[in-house]
Amino acid sequence: METSIHLDEIQLRLRAAIRQSSLTQKEIAQKIGVSAQTVSKYMSVNVFPALDTLGRLCQVLDISADYILGLTD
């Protein structure tokens, strides 16, 4: 079975995960090694983290990369 997900949907899932986190954007940024402005960009514009950063972000948010990428629900 083939799954198709658009970048917009991935960004929506990522933004929702960041919003639902108990961490501030600044705390998330410190934990994944980017600036707070970068995390803010993930939230407000069409900026997507590099794959290694996405991996760290998923760990910090305790969420599956498969979910963010639309491979699971």
Considering Cα of 67, then 40, then 55, then 11, what sign does the dihedral take?
A: positive
Residue 73 has pLDDT above 90, yes or no: no
| pLDDT, tens digit (0-9, with 9 covering 90-100), for 27-46 | 999 999 999 999 999 998 88
Confidence tier at 24 by pLDDT (50, 70, 90): very high
Domain ranges of the chain: 7-68
pLDDT over 80 (residue 72): yes
Taking residues 53-69, what's their average pLDDT?
96
**Helix H or strand E encompassing 31:** helix 25-32
Distance of CA 25 to the CA centre of its chain: 11
Reported as half-sphere exposure (CB side, CA atoms, 13 A), residue 5 has a value of 16
CATH 1.20.120.1230 fits 7-68, yes or no: no
Q: What is the pTM of this model?
A: 0.85
